[in-house]
């Protein structure tokens, strides 16, 4: 049995890296990676917590309890089950997000999130008609018709 | 079901049915509408006569089932009628006056199709239906065996009065008078409503015999409160001080309506209520003392006001206030359960002669085109029968023997005289006030007769208008009538005098009264003359009428004295107005009804209007403000939130992170 600090620190590092990726990165793919890191941190915490006995940390640190009398963990392993479930969903989510990013790149030739702010009412490039705000230039063949982009 | 019961139900149901059917019928065919309304009047009078005959031969019927009963859980309200001597007697009067008025109205409100002058619509169908409905409501009040049923009729009467006073609703004065009549009587009606609730709470029943049987056993405070509340309703409906101000203004209504509602029947309903509930009032003698004081003040004050009126209808209206006060005074000195007979006798005789007087006034107005006294004169020459009927009615009003008014008035005075020892100062007050009022009554009756019947026809006759509906009820200059809206032919006779030399002859002979307007006068003249004969064989309702010889002599002497003074001005040509002897300031003061309207405006109307304005302002500024603030706030909020919509996905994520941290902190702090 390993110490609880390992998984928790791992989760903290993952979450911190994920938040950094979400907030500081401008590339859409890296923002997506940051989100995946947050999901992974949550999964690590789930697995670690499912190894704890019923009653959680309080049950472990009960003063005066004879060693070896730690209550059994949850036999259904619900944390691990949930994590597997989340990983499955995260896989589907990544597929969807990558498809969106791919479309964005096809239309705009960029995956920089700071360059596509036309929908924000407070942004300097806001317009009621986003199609008119498309940058001039050839739209590569194979992309969707502009009507669908809108 | 006995004959009396059937007849009692018929008196209520028939006019109501006539009203409901008559409205669409008269719209479709004016001729049939008139026939139908008159037929309804005949049927109602016939039912009332059958009821009276049945009651006086076979005895009355109490608890006539009418509208079933209401089970309220806390009590059962049986909506029954009753047919006894009192209700049958009054029902005959109501039926007679209603019939006369329906017949009279067919001519008075007739449309003149080829009239060159554009005339106001008469709206006869609505008029006739409302009069029929009023008759039904009055019959309900007269026959009610239950206070709730009585209140029902009482309120419908008030509504009909409102509709009929405001019948010529194109005139602002009529609208104002209708609203005033409605609101002032409504103040009193509230008292009746509260009294019914109080009696229901105290006795557990609203049946009149039940309440009257329980009344002596109730706590004195309860009976006094109920009696005083009822008295408020009586003062409102019967136009007694201080709620009398609506009646002179109600003369804006068509004259037949004034005859039916505001002279003969509805204003007498208040007194009828007191007579009907006399045992309740006897259990609270203080309320009868209040009634005696109110009646004494009203009878003399209203008679004095009548002296100075410049409008025939308003004069008669003030006279009505004064005479109804006689009835109230007569019942206020009663100290036994059937001592209301003098008041009932005066109710009957007043109903007959005052309806006669009003219908005569309508005829005169029809001929002259105005109700102002200054436009009248010489009726003795131009229309002798009409002048004779006017003199007859006024003589009955004054109380000259052997006319109806003599017997009833002296009966009231004798009752007051007889009660001075048992009742004390209230009876003396009523007696003294009543005797003085006979003097003043003689004065104003003599003055009216002198102006209208004697002298020459006015040199400047008002426009001769064939249709009475276009005739203009006279206006009194001054603060009574703050009316800005005038018809062109109002008050402007000076500018409209026909300059032709034949105008006088046309006035004297050209206008002929239709027969429908004359025979109701003769029909009403019969009871106005002969009502005294019922005292030979008094029916049950009038059993306790006694006439004291000395009182009768004193009353008659005072009447004759007043009449002599009023008529004395006849010789002083060209000014036939006896009231001209009074100082101008006093005349104006009396003419304006002691300026009570100004007082009412200051004390009630202005504060109320200010309160209404305040409420309206509050409603607009505060209540509506909340509603109007919602879109404004939403717009501000959207402007504010739109500034956060930067279009930068990482920016949104930053907000999300901040939110997550906040939720985490809150969770940690709260756990």
User: Which among B643, B644, B650 is the nearest to A23, CB-wise?
Assistant: B650
Q: Is pLDDT of B166 > 50?
A: yes
Q: In sequence order, what are the residues at sequence separation of 6 or more whose Cβ sits closer than 8 angstroms to the Cβ of residue B465?
A: B117, B366, B369, B471, B489
pLDDT at B603: 87
The Cα angle at residue A95 between residues A91 and A101, in degrees rounded to 5: 140
Q: φ and ψ at B662, to 5 degrees? A: -60, -45
Stretch A22-27: mean pLDDT: 88
Most distant CA pair in chain A: distance in Å? 75
> pLDDT band at B463, cuts 50/70/90?
very low
User: Could you read off the pLDDT of B579-634 as tens digits, one per residue?
Assistant: 777 777 888 888 888 888 888 888 888 999 999 999 999 998 888 989 999 999 99
**In this predicted structure, what is the pLDDT of residue B534?**
79
In this structure, of B97-101, B205-209, B537-541, B651-655, the range with the lowest mean pLDDT score is: B537-541
Q: How far apart are CA B208 and CA B281, in angstroms?
A: 13
- Residue in chain B closest to A15 (alpha carbons) equals B657
For B491, half-sphere exposure in the C-beta direction (CA atoms, 13 angstrom radius) is 13
Q: Do A119 and B647 touch (CB under 8 A)?
A: yes
Mean pLDDT value of segment B487-491: 38
Q: How close is the nearest chain B Cα to the Cα of A124, in Å? A: 8
| pLDDT at position A96 | 96
- What per-residue confidence (pLDDT) applies to B28? 79
B650 touches chain A (CB under 8 A): yes
Distance of CA B152 to the CA centre of its chain: 16
Query: Hey, are the CB atoms on B642 and A122 less than 8 Å from each other?
Result: yes
Phi, psi for A112 (deg, rounded to 5)? -85, 120
Q: Which residues of B touch A29 (CB under 8 A)?
A: none
Q: How confident is the model at residue B61 (pLDDT cuts 50, 70, 90)?
A: low
Question: B227-274, pLDDT tens digit by residue?
Answer: 999 999 999 888 888 888 888 888 888 888 888 888 888 888 989 999
- B310, pLDDT greater than 50: yes
Token readout for A129 is 């008609």
Instruction: Dump pLDDT digits (tens) for A36-54.
Output: 999 999 999 999 888 877 6
pLDDT for residue B538: 76
pLDDT confidence band for A13 (50 / 70 / 90) = very high
CB contact under 8 A, B647 and A22: no
Name the pLDDT band for A149 (thresholds 50, 70, 90).
very low
CA nearest B134: which of B98, B166, B106, B103? B98
- Per the CB < 8 Å rule, is B649 touching A31? yes
pLDDT band at A18 (very low <50, low <70, confident <90, very high): very high
Count, residues in chain B: 671
Output the average pLDDT for chain B. 81
Assess whether pLDDT exceeds 60 at residue B492.
no
What per-residue confidence (pLDDT) applies to B207?
86
ipTM of the complex: 0.74
* B220-237 vs B147-165: helix crossing angle, rounded to 10: 20
Q: Name the nearest CA neighbour of A101 among A37, A46, A29.
A: A29
Among the partner-chain residues A23, A121, A122, the one whose CB lies closest to the CB of B653 is A23
In B569-620, which residue ranges form alpha helices assigned H by DSSP?
A: 584-591, 596-600, 606-618
Best residue in B646, B658, B661 for a mutation probing chain A (most A CBs within 10 Å): B646
Nearest by CB to residue B648, choosing from A22, A24, A117, is A117
Nearest CB to A23: which of B645, B646, B657?
B657
Q: Residue A117: closest CA among chain B residues belongs to which residue? A: B647
Q: How far is B631 from chain A (nearest CA, A)?
A: 20
B chain contacts of residue A22, beta-carbon cutoff 8 Å: 650, 653, 657
| Residues on chain A bordering chain B, Cβ-to-Cβ distance under 8 angstroms | 19, 22-26, 28, 31, 113-114, 116-123, 125-126
Spell out the residues 6+ positions from residue B560 whose beta carbon is closer than 8 angstroms to its own: B400, B442
**CATH code for the structural domain at A1-57+74-111:** 1.10.287.3510
End-to-end CA distance of chain B: 84
- What lies within 8 Å, CB to CB, of B580 at 6+ separation is B569
Q: What is the pLDDT of residue B617?
A: 92
| B121-125, B299-303, B661-665: least confidently modelled range | B121-125
Mutation for B interface: A29, A104, A112, A113, most B CBs within 10 A: A113
| Closest Cβ–Cβ partner in B643, B646, B650 for A22 | B650
Q: Report chain A residues whose CB lies below 8 A from the CB of B650.
A: 22-26, 31, 113-114
Please say if the pLDDT value at position B473 is more than 90: no
Share of chain B above pLDDT 90, in %: 14
- Residue B99 and residue B105: Cα distance in Å, rounded? 10
Cβ contacts below 8 Å, chain A against chain B, sum to 45
* Chain B residues in contact with A31 (beta carbon < 8 A): 649-650, 653
Residue B494 has pLDDT above 50, yes or no: no
Q: How far is CA B289 from the centre of its chain?
A: 24
Residue B19: predicted pLDDT: 86
Please give the torsion angle defined by the CA atoms of residues B480, B483, B484 and B489, in that order, rounded to the nearest 10 degrees.
-100
pLDDT digits (tens, 9 = 90+) for B517-546: 888 888 888 888 888 777 777 777 777 777
Check residues B169 and B349 and name the one with the higher pLDDT.
B349
pLDDT in tens, A57-114: 776 666 666 666 666 667 778 888 999 999 999 999 999 999 999 998 998 888 888 8
pLDDT at residue number B121: 66
Verify whether the Cβ–Cβ distance A31 to B647 is below 8 Å. Answer: no
Least CB–CB distance from A120: residue in B647, B653, B657: B647
Backbone angles phi, psi at B481, to 5 degrees: -120, 80
Interatomic CA distance for residues B404 and B276, integer angstroms: 23
Chain B hits for A24, CB-CB cut-off 8 Å, are 650
Query: What predicted TM-score, i.e. pTM, was given to this entire model?
Result: 0.73
pLDDT, position B262: 82
Q: Residue A123: closest CA among chain B residues belongs to which residue?
A: B646
Are B647 and A125 in contact (CB < 8 Å)?
yes
Residue where the block lists tokens 């309160």: B611
pLDDT at B466: 39
Nearest to A145 by CA among A96, A107, A105, A101: A107
Task: Give the distance from residue B645's alpha carbon to the nearest chain A alpha carbon, in angstroms.
Answer: 5
- CA dist B258 and B243 (Å) reads 18
pLDDT value of residue A40: 93
Please report the pLDDT score of residue A43 as a whole number. 93
Give the closest of B642, B650, B654 to A113, CB-based.
B650
Burial code (b: 16+ CB inside 10 Å, e: under 16) for B334-371 equals beeebbbbbbbbbbbbbbbbbbbbbbbbbbbbbbbbbb
pLDDT tens per residue across span B378-388:
777 788 888 88
**In B308-403, alpha helices (H):** 312-332, 341-368, 379-382, 384-398
Beta bridge partners of B83: B61
Q: Do A114 and B650 touch (CB under 8 A)?
A: yes
Contact (CB<8Å) B645/A26: no
Find chain A residues with C-beta within 8 A of B642's C-beta. Answer: 121-122
Answer yes or no: is pLDDT of B515 > 70. Answer: yes
Q: What is the pLDDT confidence band of residue B138, given thresholds at 50, 70 and 90?
A: very high
pLDDT at B517: 81
- Is pLDDT larger for residue B179 or for residue B116? B179
Q: Assess whether pLDDT exceeds 60 at residue B495.
A: no
Average pLDDT over residues B421-426: 83
The more confidently predicted of residues B116 and B622 is B622
Compute the nearest-CA separation of B610 from chain A (Å). 50
pLDDT at residue A118 in the model: 79
The rounded distance, in Å, linking the Cα atoms of B354 and B372 is: 18
| Mean pLDDT for the stretch of residues B563-585 | 72
- How distant is the alpha carbon of residue B323 from its chain centre? 13
The alpha helices in chain A, defined as continuous H runs, are 5-24, 28-50, 57-60, 78-108, 146-149
In chain B, the percentage of residues whose pLDDT exceeds 70 is 88
Is B643 in Cβ contact with A23 (below 8 Å)?
no
Please, are residues B143 and B82 in contact by the beta-carbon 8 Å criterion? yes
Arithmetic mean of pLDDT, B635-650: 86
CA distance B111 to B214: 54
Nearest CA in chain A to B640: A122
Every domain of chain A and the residues it spans: 1-57+74-111
How far apart CA B595 and CA B617 sit, in angstroms, is: 31
**Among A28, A116, A121, beta carbon nearest to B645:** A121
CB contact (8 A) between residue B650 and residue A31: yes
């Amino acid at each position: 049995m390993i110490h609880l600090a390992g998984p928790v620190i791992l989760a903290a590092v993952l979450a911190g890296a994920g938040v950094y990726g979400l907030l500081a990165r401008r590339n859409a793919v890296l923002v997506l990676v940051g989100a995946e890191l947050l999901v992974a941190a949550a999964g690590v915490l789930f697995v670690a917590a499912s190894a704890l006995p019923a009653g959680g940390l309080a049950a472990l640190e009960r003063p005066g309890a004879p060693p070896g009398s730690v209550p059994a963990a949850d036999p259904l392993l619900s944390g691990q089950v949930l994590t597997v479930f989340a990983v499955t969903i995260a896989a589907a989510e990544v597929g969807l997000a990558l498809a969106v990013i791919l479309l964005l790149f096809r239309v705009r030739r960029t995956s920089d999130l700071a360059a596509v702010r036309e929908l924000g009412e407070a942004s300097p490039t806001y317009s009621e008609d986003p199609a008119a705000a498309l940058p001039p230039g050839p739209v590569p063949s194979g992309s969707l018709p502009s009507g669908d982009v809108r | 079901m006995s004959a009396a019961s059937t007849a009692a139900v018929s008196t209520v149901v028939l006019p109501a049915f006539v009203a409901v059917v008559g409205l669409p019928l008269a719209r479709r065919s004016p001729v049939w509408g008139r026939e139908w309304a008159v037929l309804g009047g005949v049927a109602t009078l016939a039912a009332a006569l059958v009821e009276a005959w049945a009651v006086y031969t076979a005895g009355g019927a109490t608890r006539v089932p009418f509208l079933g009963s209401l089970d309220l859980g806390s009590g059962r309200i049986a909506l029954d009628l009753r047919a006894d001597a009192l209700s049958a007697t009054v029902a005959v009067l109501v039926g007679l006056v209603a019939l006369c008025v329906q017949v009279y109205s067919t001519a008075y409100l007739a449309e003149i199709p080829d009239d060159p002058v554009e005339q106001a619509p008469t709206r006869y169908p609505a008029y006739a239906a409302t009069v029929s409905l009023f008759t039904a409501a009055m019959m309900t009040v007269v026959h009610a065996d239950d206070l709730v049923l009585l209140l029902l009729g009482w309120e419908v009467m008030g509504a009909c009065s409102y509709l009929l006073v405001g019948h010529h609703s194109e005139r602002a004065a009529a609208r104002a008078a209708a609203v005033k009549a409605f609101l002032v009587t409504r103040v009193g009606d509230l008292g009746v409503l509260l009294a019914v609730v109080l009696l229901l709470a105290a006795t557990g029943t609203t049946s009149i015999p039940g309440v009257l049987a329980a009344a002596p056993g109730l706590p004195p405070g309860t009976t006094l409160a109920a009696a005083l509340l009822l008295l408020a309703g009586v003062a409102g409906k019967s136009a007694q001080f201080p709620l009398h101000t609506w009646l002179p203004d109600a003369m804006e209504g068509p004259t037949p309506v004034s005859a039916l509602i505001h002279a003969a029947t509805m204003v007498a309903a208040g007194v009828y209520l007191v007579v009907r509930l006399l045992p309740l009032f006897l259990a609270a003698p203080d309320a009868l003392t209040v009634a005696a004081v109110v009646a004494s003040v009203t009878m003399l004050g209203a008679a004095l006001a009548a002296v100075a009126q410049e409008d025939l209808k308003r004069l008669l209206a003030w006279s009505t206030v004064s005479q109804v006060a006689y009835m109230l005074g007569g019942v206020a000195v009663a100290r036994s359960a059937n001592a209301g007979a003098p008041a009932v006798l005066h109710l009957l005789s007043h109903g007959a002669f005052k309806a006669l007087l009003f219908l005569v006034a309508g005829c005169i107005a029809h001929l002259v085109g105005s109700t102002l006294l200054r436009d009248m004169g010489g009726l003795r020459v131009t229309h002798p029968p009409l002048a004779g009927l006017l003199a007859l009615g006024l003589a009955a009003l004054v109380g000259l023997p052997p006319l109806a008014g003599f017997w009833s008035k002296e009966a009231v005075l004798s009752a007051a005289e007889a009660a001075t020892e048992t009742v004390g100062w209230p009876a003396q007050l009523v007696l003294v006030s009543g005797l003085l009022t006979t003097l003043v009554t003689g004065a104003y009756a003599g003055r009216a007769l002198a102006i209208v019947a004697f002298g020459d026809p006015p040199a400047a006759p008002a426009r001769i208008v064939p249709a009475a509906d276009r005739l203009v009820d006279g206006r009194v200059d001054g603060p009574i009538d703050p009316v800005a809206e005038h018809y062109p032919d109002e008050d402007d006779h000076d500018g409209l005098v026909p300059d032709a030399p034949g105008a006088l002859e046309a006035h004297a002979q050209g206008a002929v009264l239709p027969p429908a307007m004359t025979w109701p006068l003769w029909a009403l003249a019969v009871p106005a003359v002969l009502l005294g004969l019922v005292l030979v064989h008094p029916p049950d309702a009038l059993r306790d009428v006694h006439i004291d010889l000395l009182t009768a002599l004193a009353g008659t002497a005072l009447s004759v004295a007043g009449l002599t003074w009023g008529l004395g001005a006849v010789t002083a040509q060209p000014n036939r107005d006896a009231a001209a002897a009074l100082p101008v300031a006093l005349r104006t003061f009396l003419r304006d009804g002691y300026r009570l309207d100004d007082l009412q405006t200051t004390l009630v109307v202005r504060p109320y209007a200010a309160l209404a304005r305040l409420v309206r302002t509050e409603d607009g500024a505060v209540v509506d403000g909340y509603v109007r603030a919602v879109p404004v706030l939403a717009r501000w909020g959207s402007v504010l939130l739109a500034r956060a919509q930067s279009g930068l996905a990482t920016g949104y994520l930053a907000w999300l992170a901040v939110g997550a941290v906040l939720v985490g902190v809150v969770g940690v702090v709260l756990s």
